[in-house]
Amino acid sequence: ELALDALRRGAGAAAGLLLLLLRLRLLAELGARRDKAPKHRHHGAVGSGGSAAVEQQQQQQQQLASRREEVFKPLLVAAASSAQHVSNKHGGVSTCSLSNHPHRITITTRSATSPWLEETRRRVSLGHQLQYVRLRKFLHQRGFTSSLLQPALFTDTGRGLQTLKTIKPCQLIISLPESCLLTTATVLSSYLGQYIKSWKCRLSPLLALCVFLVCERHRGEASDWFPYIDALPTTYTCPAYFADGVLAVLPAGVRRRASEQRRAVRELHSSSRDFFGSLQPVLSQPVEEVFTYEALRWAWCSVNTRSVFMSHPSNNFLSGQDHYALAPFLDLLNHRPDVQVKASFNDATRCYEIRSVSGTVRYQQAFINYGSHDNQRLLLEYGFVAPGNPHSVVYVDADLLCDVLRGDRSLDQKRKFLKENNFVHNLTVSSDGPSWRLMTALRLLSMPQTLYRQWKAVLLGQAVCEEREEWSVHTAETLCQRLLQDTNAALEKISDLLRQCDPAVREQLDVVQSLRQEERCILGRCLEALRGTVRQPDEALPCQPDDNDDDDAVS
Q: What is the mean pLDDT of residues 317-323?
A: 94
Domain count, the chain: 4
For 263, list phi and psi in degrees, rounded to 5: -65, -40
Same domain, 408 and 418: yes
| Residues 338, 460 share a domain | no
The two beta strands, 105-111 and 92-98, are antiparallel
Residues 281, 207: Cα–Cα separation, whole Å: 19
Q: What is the pLDDT of residue 69?
A: 58
Mean pLDDT of 3-25: 53
HEC readout, 147-205: CCEEEEEECCCEEEEEECCCECCCCEEEEEEHHHCECHHHHHCCCCHHHHHHCCCCECH
Write the pLDDT tens digit of every residue in 170-205.
999 999 999 999 999 999 999 999 999 999 999 999
Q: Give 24's pLDDT tier (boundaries 50, 70, 90).
A: low
Residue 389 maps to a domain: no
Give the confidence band of 466 by pLDDT, cuts at 50, 70, 90. confident
Last residue of a domain, one of 119, 153, 172: 119
What is the three-class DSSP state of 454?
helix
pLDDT, position 46: 39
In this prediction, residue 462 has a pLDDT band, given cuts at 50, 70 and 90, of confident
Quick one: pLDDT at residue 104? 47
Residue 26 lies in a domain: yes
Q: Which residue has the higher pLDDT, 460 or 322?
A: 322
Do 292 and 268 lie in a common domain?
Answer: yes
For residue 386, tell me if it sits in a domain. no
H/E element holding 68? helix 48-90
349 lies in the same domain as 483: no
**Residue 60 domain-assigned?**
yes
Average confidence score pLDDT of the chain: 83
Give the model's confidence band at 30: pLDDT under 50 very low, under 70 low, under 90 confident, else very high: low
Residue 319 in any domain: the answer is yes
Nearest by Cα to 101 from 57, 140, 65 = 65
**pLDDT of residue 236 exceeding 60:** yes
Same domain assignment for residues 18 and 87: yes
- CA 88 to chain CA centroid, Å, is 30
Same domain, 266 and 318: yes
Max CA separation in the chain (angstroms) = 127
265 and 347 part of one domain? no
User: Do residue 476 and residue 527 come from a single domain?
Assistant: yes
Range with lowest mean pLDDT among 116-120, 245-249, 483-487: 116-120
Residue 26 predicted with pLDDT over 80: no
> Which of the residue ranges 82-86, 256-260, 397-401, 519-523 would you say has the lowest mean pLDDT?
82-86
Give the CATH number of the domain where residue 340 resides. 2.170.270.10
Query: Do both 428 and 491 map to the same domain?
Result: yes
Is 263 found in the same domain as 241?
yes
Residue 380 included in any domain: no
151 occurs within a structural domain? yes
Distance (Å, whole) CA 352 – CA 181 = 8
Closest listed residue to residue 227, CA positions, set 137, 333, 327, 330? 137
Cα 509–514–519 angle (5° rounding)?
125
Q: Is the pLDDT of residue 489 over 50?
A: yes
- Supply the range of the domain harboring residue 219: 182-326
Q: What is the DSSP string of 36-54?
A: HSPP----SS--HHHHHHH
Residue 553: is its pLDDT beyond 50? no
Across the range 220-236, mean pLDDT stands at: 97
d(CA 15, CA 140) in angstroms, rounded, equals 34
For residues 252 and 358, membership in a common domain is answered with: no
* 438 and 517 fall within a common domain: yes
Least confident of 252-266, 357-371, 440-454: 440-454
